Amino acid sequence: MADFGKVQAAADAVRARVRTLPTTAVVLGSGLGDFAGSLADATSIKYGELPNWPVSTVPGHEGRLVIGTTQGQLVAALAGRCHLYEGFDGQTVTFATRVMGLLGVKQLILTNAAGGVNTSFSQGALMVIDDHINLTGQNPLAGPNDNRLGPRFPDMSAVYSSRLRALADEAAKAAGVTLAHGVYAALLGPSYETPAEIRYLRTIGADAVGMSTVPEAIVARHMGVEVLGLSCITNMAAGVLPHPLNHEEVMATAQRVRGQFIALLEGIIGRLS
């Protein structure tokens, strides 16, 4: 379980830097950090300037918290996240989520770059996460529970808000963005999956696969925060196409669809109450 005092110290440090606190936060995955730069009247804080806040070592994860406005809404954008495969434990990976919860965030939009397991997807597709499969072998709630953060046994029957998913569909239609829906499988990484593993994931109902998001979604729901998950299908998973996978391809695809991605996020945020 997260150290409440350390989370509180980071939350207090954020409060000291901004006049008004947002009720919506967006975690930006690999190559998707450009959205943070689109916020107006923004306050930007490097993760390293906040007490106890972990800093990602992965290219494409800039490592800064930006609080600003878009579509008339005040938003916290987290440009970059930490991952289990970097050697962090579940409590560290979800530290930022805990801070957002203590700051009063009510809606958390989790984004990621993912591999396409569903063969009907194309590279660059955007997918709303309807549900997830946790195959990381870890749960960030393991260990003693702190009732100040949430209940011992939180319900996970509706991790991803039906209200927010409907708003995403409305925003996509208005922006002319094609939006798929599917199940996201989270694996530990950092190696990409084998073709046999992808066939297994397809068999058990996964449409996309990645190495993030699920721990944050679990912790957010533990704290009663409403969650929306969005995946950018930056590459087709192993065995779907006859070429090897690499992180450069992930970054290049994310850059190619950045306009659609930002338009979708702005449309969703503009519809939040």
Measured in degrees and rounded to the nearest 5, phi and psi for residue 210 equal -160, -170
pLDDT value, residue 33: 66
Statement: residue 256 has pLDDT above 80: no
pLDDT tens for 109-120 read 999 989 999 999
pLDDT tens for 158-180 read 999 999 999 999 999 999 999 99
Statement: residue 237 has pLDDT above 90: no
Q: Is 4-270 a CATH 3.30.1330.200 domain?
A: no
Contact 234/124 with Cβ under 8 angstroms? yes
The proportion of the chain whose per-residue pLDDT surpasses 90, expressed as a percent, equals 79
pLDDT value, residue 85: 95
The tokens describing 94, both together, are 């979800």
If we measure between CA atoms, which residue out of 73, 77, 78, 74 comes closest to residue 271? 73
Mean pLDDT for 228-254 is 73
What residues does each domain of the chain span? 4-270
pLDDT value, residue 55: 87
Model confidence at 103, pLDDT cuts 50, 70, 90, reads: very high
Give dist(CA 92, CA 2) in Å, integer.
8
Higher pLDDT among residues 265 and 30, named by residue: 265
Q: Which residues are catalytic?
A: 30, 61, 83, 85-86, 113, 211-212, 235, 247
Give dist(CA 247, CA 192) in Å, integer.
10
Q: Report pTM.
A: 0.94
pLDDT value, residue 141: 97
- DSSP, residue by residue, 204-232: TT-SEEESSSHHHHHHHHHTT-EEEEEEE
pLDDT tens for 193-205 read 999 999 999 999 9
Model confidence at 61, pLDDT cuts 50, 70, 90, reads: low
Mean pLDDT for 67-83 is 94
Statement: residue 241 has pLDDT above 80: no
